[in-house]
Amino acid sequence: MRVEITILVENTTPVPKLIGEYGFAALVKTDNQQILFDTGSKDALLTNSIILGINLEKIDSIVLSHGHFDHTGALVPLLGKYGGKPIYAHSNLFARRPFKRGANNFQDIGCAFTKKSAEEKGAEFKFIDHPTEIYPHIYCSGEVPRVTDYEDVGGNFKCEANGELIDDKLIDDGALIVDHPEGLIILSGCAHSGIINMIKHAIAITGQSKVLAFIGGTHLIRASDERLAKTVTALREIDISQIIVSHCTGFYAAAKLYNELGSKVIKGETGMTFKY
Ligand SMILES: [Fe+2]
Ligand SMILES: [Fe+2]
């Protein structure tokens, strides 16, 4: 099984002419499938794919990690350009998520589209809340059990429930997992469920304890020193070859992980490709 992953959208890029954009999106190519994981927040997906010579018309489906704008923002433009696709996501994707930026300043950071607006462009939603093998050896994680005591969603996120604002546990946050013969490849949008919870869940679903790569957001950007230290300890106990951190990891957490774990930690940016 050959797997090639190209980061199409990430906050930054080392490649001239590509656009760095707040968010995350990656193309996962296997021998038989092409899956788009997340879409970034706006224009970068379509622009970068064209510059990289990638034809997104060929993708078989789209997997959305969770209902934040920076992972869903280019979905409707994508479908508008290339036609309808199956979309795998958690059923809580469309939760309303006002984020407080000032005394009376709330911004909606939730899913960037409505179900209706996407369906009008041909979206076929397949809601997945539990671990599901969507293609041979390729899984959507569904809800990630929160088993560690030091990981949290990574911020003061709120969502609406019965007309009230409550703490948002981001239950829709999930991973795309490729069960490669040499180990797991785990793609994450933000890992609001926690990078360690996510990796443990992927291992539990597949029964494969070797991890080839974790790729994507970790939401360690505001993590305490204590959480970072415990995350490093947990990563040392996991048989993992590459930790490719992106997006909401932040400079300090990325530097800390690199200092502690060495060259297996890579900063994943727009335009980078990884082959397994
Ligand atoms: Fe994000
Ligand atoms: Fe997020």
State mean pLDDT over 121-147: 98
Residue 82: enclosing H or E segment and its boundaries? helix 75-82
Q: How far is the CA of 21 from the centre of ligand 2 (A)?
A: 14
Residues 234-254 pLDDT 10s: 999 999 999 999 999 999 999
State mean pLDDT over 53-62: 98
| Ligand with smallest separation from the Cα of 10 | 1
Residue 93 near residue 67, CB atoms below 8 Å: yes
Q: Which of 244, 251, 250, 247 is nearest to 267 (CA)?
A: 244
Q: How far is the CA of 72 from the centre of ligand 1 (A)?
A: 10
| Ligand with smallest separation from the Cα of 110 | 2
For residue 207, the model assigns a pLDDT of: 98
The span from the CA of 274 to the CA of 225, in Å, is 30
Q: How far is the CA of 68 from the centre of ligand 1 (A)?
A: 7
The dihedrals phi and psi of 8, each to the nearest 5 degrees, come to -90, -30
Q: How far is the CA of 1 from the centre of ligand 2 (A)?
A: 30
Residues 63-107 pLDDT 10s: 999 999 999 999 999 999 999 999 999 999 999 999 888 888 889
For residue 101, the model assigns a pLDDT of: 82
Q: How far is the CA of 190 from the centre of ligand 2 (A)?
A: 5
What is the amino acid identity at position 11? N
Residues 203-229 pLDDT 10s: 999 999 999 999 999 999 999 999 999
Domain hosting 189: range is: 4-101+110-275
Residues 103-127 pLDDT 10s: 888 899 999 999 999 999 999 999 9
Domain count for the chain, please give it: 1
| Ligand with smallest separation from the Cα of 173 | 2
pLDDT above 90 covers a percentage of the chain that reads 96
Whether residue 232 has pLDDT greater than 90: yes
State mean pLDDT over 36-48: 98
Q: How far is the CA of 117 from the centre of ligand 2 (A)?
A: 21
Whether residue 56 has pLDDT greater than 90: yes
Quickly list DSSP for 146-188.
---SS---SS--EEEETTEEEE---TT--EEEEEETTEEEEEE
pLDDT level of residue 163 (50, 70, 90 thresholds) = confident
Whether residue 181 has pLDDT greater than 90: yes
State mean pLDDT over 137-156: 97
Q: How far is the CA of 130 from the centre of ligand 2 (A)?
A: 19
Q: What is the CATH number of the domain that holds 130?
A: 3.60.15.10
Q: How far is the CA of 92 from the centre of ligand 2 (A)?
A: 13
Whether residue 27 has pLDDT greater than 90: yes
Whether residue 13 has pLDDT greater than 90: yes
Q: How far is the CA of 189 from the centre of ligand 1 (A)?
A: 6
For residue 105, the model assigns a pLDDT of: 84
Global pTM? 0.97
Mean model confidence pLDDT for the chain? 97
The vertex-21 CA angle with 18 and 22, nearest 5°, equals 160
